[in-house]
Structure 1
């Protein structure tokens, strides 16, 4: 006897359909995302056959958003977030304002009321967390300067949506006074501030300590459970206590956990679930779309897509250029934001519940979202070709030209405090060096001094090939984040199994992790300093201790 289990049915049917159609899309040289969206359409309420539970699918997809933002937080620190505020804050506000105005204008042209048109425009202005993060991760751009700005931009949009979800119901009531609206806004800002303060003063101490105690038990399954409990628990707790979004709560949980020595292990353990639930997000999007909107409102749909993809791209590109960033940086940030997703769905659902949104608006937003999600990988490929021709971002394919003709050289990844010191010492010793860094200013300064430098993420095969990894004598990884360093080392080791790879770490766990990724040697600062002190007084260095 078959028991009625809608949750199990939804997960099973959704994943099976996504696997089959995602595999088919891959074989047709399309993004698997196209297959995932098609799977949602097949099992959705607007096509014959099995009909999945849309509400369950939406909740499952929200878990994907939480886990993805938690993973992003593991790559971020408060310092890095503050470092991009000068472009992310004004850029996000300006882009949302202009995109909302364009969407509002379209709504008014279609004969909708001002409230509905304004909400429609707002829904077109906010990018999808899942789509952007998946795109950046797949192209190893998440940990570049452009990736940091894009994520910071996304956080500002997320905060704006938290405020919008409070303000819209108040304005929809029609009789809200200025004092009432100001009170609601002040309360929202207070809640967000209280949450951030709690995470900063309490979470920074409690979360890493708790996870370290779990790791000491030696149970891998308990550690994985602890990671998921922190990510999901903080996200839900933040929404319940402070009325902030799940995504924002998860992001801050990840940032706090990043300060732990166990952050790279936490990221690895949560990766399979992040991928699985991200797939369910795309399935849920496909289930929401009514294909008949293409026939009912073709011109309006084209205009909606033009605002989402073309309008937002042009606005973001122009704003980043106005803020004195390079063309390549502007292109990458603009293409990252040229789509919409989960917050757009929440807004139109809210508008429908409040009866201020035209019935076609929800279908236009959903159809526009699915088309923009399909187009986004194509836009990234177009930008990658442009940048590859200018040697700004080599494509991750054999067609990418090798820009360095050096042989027997040393590749130095990261031109920060450690990498910069290493490169300068090697240049002084007249040893050929090729530096890889993702900061354009640093790369240009190195080139201006007559040295070779490659702009890009060293975790990409194309970037390593451009640095001449096949002819290099060694690879020195100077970046401080072990998770990012591990990605670089793993890619380099897969390309050159015999290459000497030296990197840095902060403790025993980093040594184990980085050597597991393929590092030949991991230098730990405190160990090396101790060895030098012993050597200074005539004793032998403790080699086993230096290696962890």
Structure 2
């Protein structure tokens, strides 16, 4: 515990300094936080190593980040962006999937391995993009709500498609059960968010203890995140829905201010910095050509697919490129899928390391592209 406390102090100081420097250089602060993680981690200075405690802190950070995004979402704009989100979400899945499958076949993957590669590079995790959108003052815009809606669509479809693929390789996976669990999750959370959440907040805030509103909001966030994970959906989607549920109540402004204070003072900086800390580059030089090919493939196809979807939905080319850029990072969704692929022998240990490197590259590439694309909207 003593070592972890010191590591936490180092991470918080380094992330704030690096974030400030990044802003001075004209980039989102999150880029500096990601890069300083690499410097602090085993790949460079070795001051901080990935631990289970640090990983758990990081998970809480991304959950709170998406919870805050839900609290900030413009509900009316979110409803209007439904069609656009569908175009962006499906465009950002179909194009990467098709081209990744073709490249997989060209690299002499088996059909199942090529299909799995297609799903991997179709995944989207916008936790990084959310922070960049926030800094660029785009989170509450039509573009921001379209991105968030598309990410939810992407997550659900990719997970169902993965279950379908795994049903051919693992007899324990039942596609009907998987789809049913996800349907029940969304139906259940919508009903609970609509009817139960407002009632729960009113009841708990009457208790004669301190910070009852914040505590009750966090309970809702973590319960939604838990059931999302339990049904095979990313915890960040559950946290985002929890935020939207509170957003429609009269408590949203007060909850957001308190959650933002807690999140950005400790948990969110740890999340961003830990991504860089977890990057492992030992022995990766033997696969630089493959990493380059797959990274370019992931970035270009995601940018094109989501960008074209946004253009078809009526956005300008600048906004379409910004939306496409925000959909690029594969993040923890792809990491979870890669671990499943490794366990199911759809990925070798070497290919798993390559995929992890590609995921990190997509994360780093997203931020400058978003800054460049959204500049004209600022």
- For this structure pair, what is the TM-score category when the shorter chain's length is used for normalisation? 0.7 to 0.9
Aligned match of 2:286 in 296, 304, 313? 296
Give distance in 1, aligned partners of 2:107 and 2:3: 39
Does structure 1 residue 362 correspond to structure 2 residue 359?
Answer: no
Could you list the per-position Cα deviations for residues 304-337 of structure 1 after superposition, in whole angstroms to 9, with x for gaps in the alignment?
A: 2212322211222222223444334323311221
Q: CA deviation at 1:42?
A: 3.7
Q: How well do the aligned residues superpose, as a CA RMSD in angstroms?
A: 2.9
**Which protein, 1 or 2, shows the higher relative CO under an 8 Å CA cutoff with sep ≥ 6?**
2
Does structure 1 residue 205 correspond to structure 2 residue 202?
Answer: no
Partner in structure 1 of residue 256 of structure 2: 267
Q: CA deviation at 1:137?
A: 1.0
Does structure 1 residue 247 correspond to structure 2 residue 236?
Answer: yes
Superposition map of 1:39-54 within 5 A: 39-47=36-44, 49-54=46-51
Q: How has the CA–CA distance of structure 1 residues 120 and 15 changed in structure 2, closer, same or farther, with 3 Å as cutoff? A: farther
Partner in structure 1 of residue 180 of structure 2: 190
Instruction: Say which structure is richer in helix.
Output: 2
Q: CA deviation at 1:22?
A: 3.8
Give distance in 1, aligned partners of 2:110 and 2:44: 31
Q: How has the CA–CA distance of structure 1 residues 11 and 121 changed in structure 2, closer, same or farther, with 3 Å as cutoff? A: farther
How does the TM-score come out when normalised to structure 1? 0.62
Q: Which runs of 5+ in 1 are unaligned?
A: 388-392, 396-548
Could you list the per-position Cα deviations for residues 172-201 of structure 1 after superposition, in whole angstroms to 9, with x for gaps in the alignment?
A: 33xx5xxx87xx333233222322333333
Q: CA deviation at 1:40?
A: 2.8
How does the TM-score come out when normalised to structure 2? 0.87
Does structure 1 residue 223 correspond to structure 2 residue 213?
Answer: yes
Partner in structure 2 of residue 69 of structure 1: 66
Partner in structure 1 of residue 152 of structure 2: 155
Instruction: Say which structure is richer in strand.
Output: 1
Q: CA deviation at 1:204?
A: 2.2
Give distance in 2, aligned partners of 1:58 and 1:103: 30
Q: CA deviation at 1:133?
A: 0.7
Aligned match of 1:114 in 101, 111, 116? 111
Partner in structure 2 of residue 101 of structure 1: 98
- Identify which range, 19-28 or 136-145, moves more after superposition: 19-28
Q: Which runs of 5+ in 2 are unaligned?
A: none
Partner in structure 1 of residue 35 of structure 2: 38
Superposition map of 1:85-484 within 5 A: 85-164=82-161, 166-173=163-170, 176=171, 184-216=174-206, 221-240=211-230, 242-275=231-264, 276-292=266-282, 295-385=285-375, 387=376, 393=377, 395=378
Q: Which runs of 4+ in 1 moved over 6 A?
A: none
Q: How has the CA–CA distance of structure 1 residues 24 and 293 changed in structure 2, closer, same or farther, with 3 Å as cutoff? A: farther
Give distance in 1, aligned partners of 2:241 and 2:217: 14
Give distance in 1, aligned partners of 2:24 and 2:148: 31
Q: CA deviation at 1:153?
A: 0.5
Q: How has the CA–CA distance of structure 1 residues 23 and 69 changed in structure 2, closer, same or farther, with 3 Å as cutoff? A: closer
Q: How has the CA–CA distance of structure 1 residues 279 and 105 changed in structure 2, closer, same or farther, with 3 Å as cutoff? A: farther
Give distance in 2, aligned partners of 1:75 and 1:25: 24
Could you list the per-position Cα deviations for residues 80-117 of structure 1 after superposition, in whole angstroms to 9, with x for gaps in the alignment?
A: 54433323224322321220222233333334333333
Give distance in 1, aligned partners of 2:372 and 2:45: 36
Q: How has the CA–CA distance of structure 1 residues 300 and 211 changed in structure 2, closer, same or farther, with 3 Å as cutoff? A: same
Q: CA deviation at 1:357?
A: 0.5
Q: CA deviation at 1:251?
A: 1.9
Partner in structure 2 of residue 546 of structure 1: none
Q: How has the CA–CA distance of structure 1 residues 72 and 49 changed in structure 2, closer, same or farther, with 3 Å as cutoff? A: closer
| Number of residue equivalences | 377
Partner in structure 1 of residue 12 of structure 2: 15
Give distance in 2, aligned partners of 1:101 and 1:245: 24
Q: CA deviation at 1:267?
A: 1.0
